[in-house]
Amino acid sequence: MKSHDSIPEPAPNPIYEAICGLIEEKSKVLDLGCGAGDLLKLLQSKKKVQGSGVEKSEEKVYECVSKGLSVHHGDIDEGLADYPDESFDYVILSETLQETHKPDLVIQEMLRVGKKAIITFPNFGYWRGRFYLLFTGRAPITNQLPHTWYDTPNIQFLTIKDFFFFCKEKGFNIVNSVYFNQGRRITFLPNLLAESALCVLA
């Protein structure tokens, strides 16, 4: 007989699982824009990392602290002056790049304080978004971009191709990249067919 008190486990986040697979056990990790701390909690549980985070929302900082996580209140657009050079093995920016005002400064700081940077972002070049705009004449709404134009936290509307051009222009070295469509990894025409991208910079 099934217990009514049992709470189902949340579905695994494929991007979080991919990030987890890139990080060695007991690494020192800083998660920028860590939200409610779900990724940090996963990394601590699976990889025993020495993890900490930075989050702009005070409410989410309190939520992280209630989970036993070390998270500081701060605005990553102002830099990471509190952290010395190469103080982390990995610095993560997951689904937050498109919300930053100064993406070049943020990434420069990530590569200063960390040996590697892991960045994930929604791809605004995804074909469903293109078709939505073409056929409706309205700002696209998709699974990865669920907000309407007037309540979206996104201020940078970048595609995978944009990000690669940006990194080349700024001298950021992309050493690995993975692309996702509805949780599945894809390798063909990612700028058109991928909903999200994961890039490792060093």
Distances from the Cα of 149 to the Cα of 144, 154, 189, 200, angstroms = 14, 9, 27, 29
Tell me the pLDDT tens digit for each residue of 94-134: 999 999 999 999 999 999 999 999 999 999 998 888 887 88
Using the predicted structure, report yes or no on whether residue 7 has a pLDDT greater than 50: no
CA 187/CA 178 separation, integer angstroms: 8
pLDDT at site 186: 93
Contacts of 75 by beta carbon, 8 Å cutoff, 6+ apart: 56
Contacts of 69 by beta carbon, 8 Å cutoff, 6+ apart: 34, 37, 40, 41, 44, 51, 52, 53
Helices then strands, each counted (H, E), the chain: 7, 8
Give the tokens for residue 172.
């950021």
Question: pTM of this prediction?
Answer: 0.89
**What is the rounded average pLDDT for all residues in the chain?**
90
Q: Quickly tell me which residue has 């309205």 as its tokens.
A: 138
- Whether 68 contacts 94, CB under 8 Å: no
Using the predicted structure, report yes or no on whether residue 173 has a pLDDT greater than 80: yes
SS3 49: coil
Based on its alpha-carbon atoms, the radius of gyration of the chain, rounded to whole angstroms, reads 17
Q: Output b/e per residue, 173-197; b: 16+ Cβ within 10 A.
A: eeeebbbbbeeeeeeeebbebbbbb
